[in-house]
Amino acid sequence: MRTVWWSKNRVKLIDQTKLPFKTEVLEFRDYRKLARAIKEMRLRGAPAIGVATALGIALGINHSKASSFRELSKELDRTIKTFQGTRPTAVNLFWACRRMKKKFRENRGKSPKEIKRILVQEAKRITQEDIDCCKRIGELGASLIKKGDSILTHCNAGALATAGYGTALGVIKKAHEEGKRIKVFIDETRPRLQGARLTTWELKREGIPFTLITDNMAGYFMKKKEIDLVIVGADRIAGNGDVANKIGTYPLAVLAKEHKIPFYVAAPTSTIDLRLPSGNRIPIEERNTREVTHMGGRALVPKGTKAANPAFDLTPNRYIKAIITEKGIARRPYRQSLRKICGW
Ligand code: MRU
């Protein structure tokens, strides 16, 4: 399954706000509209945001009327700035901007027409690499899963959160393919319900058995020994292994430690931000509180109710048993293992 892709000088993506009831493909010719779609979470999930940003930058440049390298360079900066203003936590977005800019600079001196072609090619390469990384994460991660394991996951870290295949769900899919007869508990993931709407949709398509639970049920099932391990994705991993992921991840990690259940994170190396020594400096996106006070356009609370809506939380490295990347499985001390994996 593809989530976001390049097609005939346009970017196409599955509108995730319509799932699970409708599979609608949106088409973009204007990079600004694509950036708005990211902000509105029509596409979401850190790796998918990174890929969409790379494709969006290629889209902006490809449709540019600039006739010199200098003009094109200004256009590129404007395009990058637009994407950087969409979602602040997923580092893959900033990683994709850096990679596209590097490619642009490397080709200084070439004609705008040639540079456009090169940037489109680079964005397509980033898309394919993301799928390949996820498949490798799946293979490596599946080795940590035993026959009959019952796995809890949070949010959606599947094909929909990447260019295809998925990170945490990639591991789950691979273990299922290997015939390990796994079962999955899916947290509904308030307030945007990525677990209830998207992860259920994906696992149903794959024929993987699952049970949907509300976010406050995990401790109950852990205590009853019905969960063997937890596996989640990540939006940004700091140099010391602290992980920013969907709000509600941190309490799961604490609960897992209390119940001696391994807690794993699966993410491509493009999610690792070695420039940040710890997670404390990871920017946490604050979203509109209407996502908390309303559902399906209807108010759930008395008028004037004050609400908060941080979209992510931070899980300190001490709660994480291992971080599964496409280049290997990192274990504590993460400062060393992550650097080694990233070749720093
Ligand atoms: O707000 P979202 O839906 O973009 O948040 C997504 C998550 O937190 C995912 O768990 C994370 O990006 C990993 S996706 C492979």
Q: What is the pLDDT of residues 143-167, one digit of tens each?
A: 999 999 999 999 999 999 999 999 9
Q: For the chain, what is the total number of helices (H) and then of strands (E)?
A: 12, 16
241 pLDDT tier (thresholds 50, 70, 90): very high
249 pLDDT tier (thresholds 50, 70, 90): very high
Q: Is 187 in the pocket of ligand 1 (CB under 6 A)?
A: no
Q: Is 90 exceeded by the pLDDT of residue 344? A: no
- For the segment 330-337, the average pLDDT, to the nearest whole number, is 98
Supply 22's token pair. Answer: 């409708």
Say what the pLDDT of residue 78 is.
97
Say what the pLDDT of residue 180 is.
98
Q: Is 90 exceeded by the pLDDT of residue 266? A: yes
Looking at the CA of residue 87, tell me the nearest atom of ligand 1. Answer: 4
Residue 300 falls in which region: left (phi positive, over 0), alpha (psi -120 to 50) or beta: alpha
- For the segment 191-218, the average pLDDT, to the nearest whole number, is 98
CA of 155 to the centre of ligand 1 (A): 7
Report CA-CA distances (Å) from 261 to 230, 244, 252.
7, 20, 10
- For the segment 50-74, the average pLDDT, to the nearest whole number, is 96
98 Cβ contact partners less than 8 Å away, ≥ 6 residues apart: none
29 pLDDT tier (thresholds 50, 70, 90): very high
Looking at the CA of residue 246, tell me the nearest atom of ligand 1. Answer: 8
Pocket test for ligand 1, best of 51, 171, 235 (most atoms within 8 A of CB): 235
Phi, psi of 227 (to 5 degrees): -125, 125
Express each pLDDT in 107-118 by its tens digit: 998 999 999 999
Q: Is 194 in the pocket of ligand 1 (CB under 6 A)?
A: yes
188 Cβ contact partners less than 8 Å away, ≥ 6 residues apart: 195, 196, 212, 213, 214, 215
Instruction: Given the residues 149, 235, 273, 313, select the one marked as catalytic.
Output: 235
pTM above 0.85? yes
32 pLDDT tier (thresholds 50, 70, 90): very high
Mind listing the domains of the chain with CATH numbers?
A: 4-135 (1.20.120.420), 139-342 (3.40.50.10470)
Pocket test for ligand 1, best of 160, 194, 215 (most atoms within 8 A of CB): 194
235 is an active site residue: yes
Say what the pLDDT of residue 222 is.
98
At 137, which helix (H) or strand (E)? helix 112-142
The Cα–Cα gap between 195 and 156 comes to: 5
Q: Is 189 in the pocket of ligand 1 (CB under 6 A)?
A: no
Q: Is 90 exceeded by the pLDDT of residue 327? A: yes
* Bridge pairing between strands 272-273 and 294-295: unpaired
